[in-house]
Amino acid sequence: MELFEIAGGSRLKGTVQISGAKNAALPILAACILCEDEVVLHNVPDLADVRSMLTLLQRLGVMSERKEDGSLHVRVEDEMNCHAEYELVSKMRASVCVMGPLLAKRKRAQVAMPGGCAIGVRPVGLHVQGLESLGADSELIGGDMMLRAKKLRGTEMFLGGAFGSSVTGTANVMMAAVLAEGRTVIESAACEPEITDLADFLNACGARISGHGTPRMVIDGVTKISGCEHTVIPDRIETGTFMIAAAITNGELELHGGRLEHLIAVVDRLRRVGVNIERGEKGIAVSSSRRLEPVELTTQPYPGFPTDLQAQTMALLCLADGNSIIVEKIFPDRFLHMAELNRMGANLRREGGTVIIHGVRRLIGAPVMASDLRASAALILAGLIAKGQTRVRRAYHIDRGYERIEEKLTAVGADIRRLPEQD
């Protein structure tokens, strides 16, 4: 395994190119199962999760090739296998996104249930419920969800869950409904930009989807969809992470490709903290003052504050001049990074799904352990400003969602190196 070694204290300044959105690319790749012809995708990030999805698709008879220009060419060559095995699904929860397209195109899907993970239990009941509403029969056998349907029929359904709309649940049902007979109406559909990007891709392939980006999505089924050429949207979570990197180091960054309209709630909170954020010619310009104000924030489904930026924002608020409060409404147990930040001198206290952050004057470098993707980003951010050296173990977590993060940070002045872990 590898770790990141960071010498804190450098002020970041320069330009960062934002990569394509992981959470848009993964369901779009799964949707290629539906396509009759070749798909050409641009701006697909080279991430561990993307490579895992491509491996799974290859097992399902969907071949891919990345060309010299960076484009990814995807084509279905064999439709016999319908089994997404636990070996792959357990590595990446987004693998369950193949459930809808397999069922719609091949009439059956056998997908291993992913189980829990470091940020809490994330059930797939809404996925199955939505697919059953379209006419699928389901059965849990040996840890695999078996789904069958000779024909899917459009219907009206409600997809709201205990913590709001399900993004991957919406994606799964939408992909299945594309080939269902008649009209499907999804109430309480997820509104995230990644869902909109998936719908745009499917429409470019010949689907008939409207209302995407709103809580009421309408899908008129078609008999088949072809292929298309599509560019994946920029990653809003990577954008937000680098916005916080500029803020925590009192730096100045130009984030090329970043879209402010995808981060309205984040921009609102960061501006209250004291971060200067402006729309630039090629993206977003970010800088900050030396004094950081405390804030209160609550994670919510889009367009609310994203849970995927909660940990990174917590690292920033550790240095605010006062007491801040973070309420986690999406994954109430997503706080494993707290203990590691406290090891670095933070003053954090948890009460249920709420964390009270007492700002400190400085953080101190220390060896820390990343527990998940976004927690690892938070610890790297803390290391950028901490006094002394920080070592963030389990670098593989960050590779799931950030493309060459150490290279991007080094290019704008950070002192960060990737090293092999020593026993």
18 pairs with which residues across the strands?
none
138 sits in the region (left: phi over 0; alpha: psi -120 to 50; else beta) called beta
Model pTM score: 0.96
Q: Mean pLDDT score of the chain, rounded to an integer? A: 95
- pLDDT band at 115, cuts 50/70/90? low
Q: What is the 3-state secondary structure (H, E, C) of 135-197?
A: CCEEEEECCEEEEECCCCECCEEECEECCEECHHHHHHHHHHHCCCECEEEEECCCCCHHHHH
* Strand order, beta sheet including 83-84: 83-84, 108-112, 144-148, 137-141
- Is the model's pLDDT at 118 over the cut of 80? no
Burial class (CB in 10 A: 0-12, 13-18, 19+), 197: buried
Q: Return the domain boundaries, the chain.
A: 2-19+234-420, 22-231
Closest CA to 126 of 188, 181, 212: 188
CATH number of the domain at 2-19+234-420, please?
A: 3.65.10.10
Secondary structure (DSSP) of 264-328: HHHHHHHHHHTEEEEE-SSEEEEEE-S-----EEEB-STTSB-GGGHHHHHHHHTTSSSEEEEE-
- Is the model's pLDDT at 197 over the cut of 60? yes
Q: What's the pLDDT at 116?
A: 45
Q: What's the pLDDT at 119?
A: 45
- pLDDT band at 123, cuts 50/70/90? low
- Is the model's pLDDT at 164 over the cut of 90? no
- pLDDT band at 121, cuts 50/70/90? very low
- b or e along 44-80 (b: 16 or more beta carbons within 10 Å of the residue's beta carbon)? bbebbbbebbbbbbeebbbebeeeeeeebebbbeeee
Say what the alpha-carbon torsion angle 94, 418, 339, 300 is, to the nearest 10 degrees: -40
Q: What's the pLDDT at 423?
A: 62
Reported CATH class of domain 22-231:
alpha beta
**Do the Cβ atoms of 312 and 283 come closer than 8 Å?**
no
Question: Which of the pair, 160 or 318, is modelled with greater confidence?
Answer: 318
Sorted by sequence, the CB contacts under 8 Å of residue 316 that are 6+ apart come out as: 244, 247, 248, 273, 292, 381
pLDDT tens across 44-78, in order?
999 999 999 999 999 999 999 999 999 999 999 99
Give the chain's end-to-end CA distance (angstroms, integer). Answer: 10
Q: What's the pLDDT at 192?
A: 97
- Is the model's pLDDT at 416 over the cut of 50? yes
pLDDT tens across 226-248, in order?
999 999 999 999 999 999 999 99
183 pairs with which residues across the strands?
220
- pLDDT band at 297, cuts 50/70/90? very high
DSSP summary character for residue 388: S
**Do the Cβ atoms of 326 and 314 come closer than 8 Å?**
yes
* Strand order, beta sheet including 389-393: 367-369, 389-393, 2-7, 415-420
Measured CA to CA in angstroms, residue 219 lies from 37, 180, 205 at distances of: 21, 9, 14
- Alpha-carbon distance of 378 to 364, in angstroms, equals 14
The catalytic site residues sit at 117
Sorted by sequence, the CB contacts under 8 Å of residue 179 that are 6+ apart come out as: 34, 104, 105, 152, 221, 222, 223, 224, 225
Place of tokens 């695999």: 144
Measured CA to CA in angstroms, residue 321 lies from 292, 305, 350, 380 at distances of: 6, 22, 19, 21
Please name the helix (run of DSSP H) or strand (run of DSSP E) that holds residue 111, with its range, or none: strand 108-112
**% pLDDT > 90, the chain:** 90
- Is the model's pLDDT at 281 over the cut of 90? no
- Alpha-carbon distance of 269 to 408, in angstroms, equals 25
